[in-house]
Amino acid sequence: MKSSIQVRNITIGEGKPKVCVPIVGKTLAEINEALQVIANQQIDLIEWRADFFQAVDDMNQVTTVLKEIRQQLQTSPIIFTFRTAEEGGNKKFSLDAYSQLYQGVIHTGLIDFIDIELFIEASTRNELVASAKQNEVLTIISNHDFAKTPSKEAIINRLKLAQDIGGDVAKIAVMPTNPGDVLTLLEATYTMAETYATIPIITMAMDQLGTLSRTVGGLFGSSVTFASITKSSAPGQVNIKELQQMLDYFYTS
* Greater model confidence, 159 or 36: 159
Query: Is 125 assigned a ligand-binding role in the annotation?
Result: no
CB atoms within 10 A of CB 75: 7
φ, ψ of residue 46 in degrees (nearest 5): -120, 135
Query: Is 74 assigned a ligand-binding role in the annotation?
Result: no
Q: Is the pLDDT of residue 217 over 90?
A: yes
Query: Is 153 assigned a ligand-binding role in the annotation?
Result: no
- 3-state DSSP call for residue 198? coil
Please give the Cα distance from 30 to 132 (Å, whole number).
28
For the ranges 36-45, 93-102, 157-166, 186-195, the lowest mean pLDDT is seen at: 36-45
Catalytic residues: 144, 171
Kindly indicate the confidence band of residue 71, based on its pLDDT and cuts at 50, 70 and 90: very high
Kindly indicate the confidence band of residue 2, based on its pLDDT and cuts at 50, 70 and 90: confident
Query: Is 68 assigned a ligand-binding role in the annotation?
Result: no
67 vs 39, 41, 55, CA distance in Å?
Answer: 16, 20, 15
pLDDT score, position 192: 98
pLDDT score, position 229: 78
CATH 3.20.20.70, domain 5-247, yes or no = yes
Query: Is 8 assigned a ligand-binding role in the annotation?
Result: no
- Name every residue whose Cβ is closer than 8 Å to that of residue 233 and which is 6 or more positions away in sequence: 22, 24, 47, 49, 52, 83, 226
Please give the Cα distance from 216 to 247 (Å, whole number).
8
For the ranges 82-86, 119-123, 213-217, 245-249, the lowest mean pLDDT is seen at: 245-249
Beta strands in the chain (DSSP E): 5-7, 10-12, 18-23, 45-49, 78-81, 113-117, 138-145, 169-174, 201-205, 224-228, 238-239
Mean pLDDT for the stretch of residues 28-32? 96
pLDDT score, position 153: 99
Q: What is the length of the chain?
A: 253
* Greater model confidence, 196 or 243: 196
Query: Exposure string (b/e) for 101-129, b if CB count within 10 Å is 16 or more?
Result: bbeebbebebbbbbbbbbbbeeebbeebb
Q: Is the pLDDT of residue 239 over 80?
A: no
CA 223 to chain centre: 11
Average pLDDT of the chain? Answer: 93
Query: Is 187 assigned a ligand-binding role in the annotation?
Result: no
Please give the Cα distance from 139 to 113 (Å, whole number).
5
Percent of the chain at pLDDT exceeding 90: 81
Please give the Cα distance from 83 to 12 (Å, whole number).
22
The domains of the chain are located at 5-247
